[in-house]
Structure 1
Amino acid sequence: MTLFLVLLACAAALIIVGSVVDGMLYLVSVGVIVLVVAGVYLLVRSMARSRRGSAD
């Protein structure tokens, strides 16, 4: 869960800096990519937990 929160904070910081600073629009796209990666990580982790819990 810590990795997810770190990725989420990094994505938010990149998106904010990219949208505020002129000429740094590429940071917005990198922030969105990091946000998607964090979402996929959370999804994979929750699926792995649900499979592990149902195997009892």
Structure 2
Amino acid sequence: MLRWTIIFLIIAIIAAILGFGGIAAGAASIAKVLFYIFIILFVISLIMGMVRRT
């Protein structure tokens, strides 16, 4: 599950770079939403992975 979250985080970062840089102005708002969603999912998965190990 953590692997999927990291993959989606990387995809969101790439989408954010393309969207924030002005290359795809129409996709900027979608990239921002995806970026924040995947950051939140990454943090939650990271916390859950640490809680399960202890």
TM category (shorter chain) comes to 0.5 to 0.7
The alignment yields a C-alpha RMSD, in angstroms, of: 2.5
Question: TM-score, structure 1 length as denominator?
Answer: 0.61
Aligned residue runs from structure 1 range 1-56, under 5 A? 1-10=3-12, 12-13=14-15, 16=18, 19-21=22-24, 24=26, 27-54=27-54
Structure 1: segments with no counterpart, 5+ residues: none
- Gaps (5+ residues) in structure 2? none
Q: How many residues align?
A: 51
Which of the two has higher C-alpha Rg? 1
Please give the TM-score of this superposition, normalised by the length of structure 2: 0.63
- Greater than 3 Å deviation, 4+ residue runs: none
Identity across the alignment (%):
10
